[in-house]
Structure 1
Amino acid sequence: MKNRIYYFSGTGNSLQVARDIASKLEDCEIISISKSLNSELTSNYERIGFIFPVYAWGPPSIVTRFVKRLNNVNKNIYIFCAATYKNEPGAVLRYFSKVLNKEGLKLNAGFEVCMPGNHIAHYEADSQKIQKEKFEKWKSQLSEITTVLLNKNEIKSKKTSLFSRFFQTGLLYKIAVKQFCKSDKKFFSSDKCNECGICEEVCPTDNIVIKNNNPTWEHNCEQCLACLHWCPQQAIEFGKKTVGRERYQNPFVRLNDMLKKGD
Structure 2
Amino acid sequence: MVLYFSGTGNSRYVAGRVARALGEPLCSLNERIKAGDYSPVETGERLIVVTPTYAWRIPRLVGDWLQKAKFPGAKRVWFLMTCGSEIGNAEKYNRALSREMGLSYMGTAQVVMPENYIALFRVPGVEESRQIVTRAEPDIDRAIAALAAGEAFAPLRNNLYDRVVSGPVNPVFYALVVKDRAFAAGAACTGCGRCAQLCPTNNIVLRSGKPVWGGNCTHCMACISYCPTEAIEYGKKSVGKPRYRLEAL
Please give the TM-score of this superposition, normalised by the length of structure 2.
0.91
- Specify whether residues 173 and 10 from structure 1 end up closer, same or farther in structure 2 by C-alpha distance, changes over 3 A only: same
**In the alignment, which residue of structure 2 is the partner of 1:10?**
7
Residue 111 (structure 1) aligns with = 109
**Residue 193, structure 1, aligned to residue 189, structure 2:** yes
Structure 1 72/5 Cα, relative in aligned 2: closer, same or farther at 3 Å? Answer: closer
**Are the aligned partners of 2:111 and 2:140 in contact in 1 as well (CA < 8 Å)?**
no
State the Cα RMSD in Å.
1.9
- Residue matched to 1:160: 158
| Matching of residues 30-69 of structure 1 within 5 Å | 30-37=26-33, 38-43=37-42, 45-69=44-68
Aligned residue pairs: how many? 246
**Contact 2:50 2:79 survives alignment (8 Å):** yes
Q: Which runs of 5 or more residues in structure 2 are unaligned? A: none
d(CA) in 2 for partners of 1:74 and 1:170? 32
Contact conserved, 1:82 with 1:110, CA < 8 A, in 2?
yes
Residue 258 of structure 1 is matched in structure 2 by none
Secondary structure of 1:113 counterpart: strand
Q: Which one-letter code corresponds to 1:149 in the other structure?
A: L
The CA distance in 2 between the partners of 1:239 and 1:101, in whole Å, is 40
Q: In the TM superposition, what is the alpha-carbon distance from 1:203 to its structure 2 partner? A: 1.0
Query: What secondary structure does 1:194 align onto?
Result: coil
Q: Distance in 1 between matches of 2:157 and 2:196?
A: 40
Distance 1:18 1:242, change over 3 A: same
Aligned residue in 1 for 2:207? 211
SS of match in other structure, 2:26: strand
Amino acid paired to 1:225: M
Distance 1:173 1:232 in 2: 32
Most deviating of 91-100 and 108-117 = 91-100
Q: CA deviation at 1:164?
A: 1.3
Query: Runs (4+) of structure 1 moved beyond 6 Å?
Result: none
TM-score (norm. length: structure 1): 0.87
CA distance in 1 between partners of 2:89 and 2:72 (Å): 25
Q: How does 1:166-185 map to 2 (within 5 A)?
A: 167-179=164-176, 183-185=179-181
**How far 1:83 moved relative to its partner?**
0.4
Q: Structure 1: 5+ residue runs without aligned partners?
A: 254-263
The alpha-carbon distance between structure 1 residues 213 and 252, as it changes in their structure 2 partners (threshold 3 A), is closer
Percent identity between the two aligned chains: 28
Using a 3 Å threshold, how does the CA distance of structure 1 residues 87 and 145 change in structure 2: closer, same or farther?
same
Are the aligned partners of 1:16 and 1:252 in contact in 2 as well (CA < 8 Å)? no
